Structure 1
């Protein structure tokens, strides 16, 4: 599995599932649905990064939870996320589909 999606709200899951099917990448994605807190800690710890692509976010608690167990956070440069995460996350422009790729490519070539 390359991408695990944790989401308890079915409206978001349904949209994501349709997108993943349309793009034919379902073999790389697993939808976990609701995950209890103890399991979340384990998921964060085993992850290479937490991606927070939200355009509208109330606080960004998931990123802080991931940071607490030393998991890198990649977050949209939107809403409250830059203020909350400050310099502890890698930010990308969420409406620019190439921005994160360019940053990742640049970082791996240094």
Structure 2
């Protein structure tokens, strides 16, 4: 049984391709899980905000001020999440454009 260099190169290339595909698949799973966690946090914030709104309508001035502070934090978190998504999209577009011009 003889093995030539083309067979070895092909085997190595196939192995590297499979490893890259496996790595990409794992990264996609991790991204999906991270996105799922982020979505859960945002839903939790919506629930907290809703409960706080109910509390706000029946509470005294000190509690209302606390609610306003908490509400601002929640809105900032939501805003940062939106900005993160915009940044990811812009980065993806940049990478696509960059890779398109260099290939």
Fold conserved (TM > 0.5)?
no
Q: Which has the higher helix share?
A: 2
What TM-score do the two structures reach when normalised by structure 1?
A: 0.20
Q: Which has the higher strand share?
A: 1
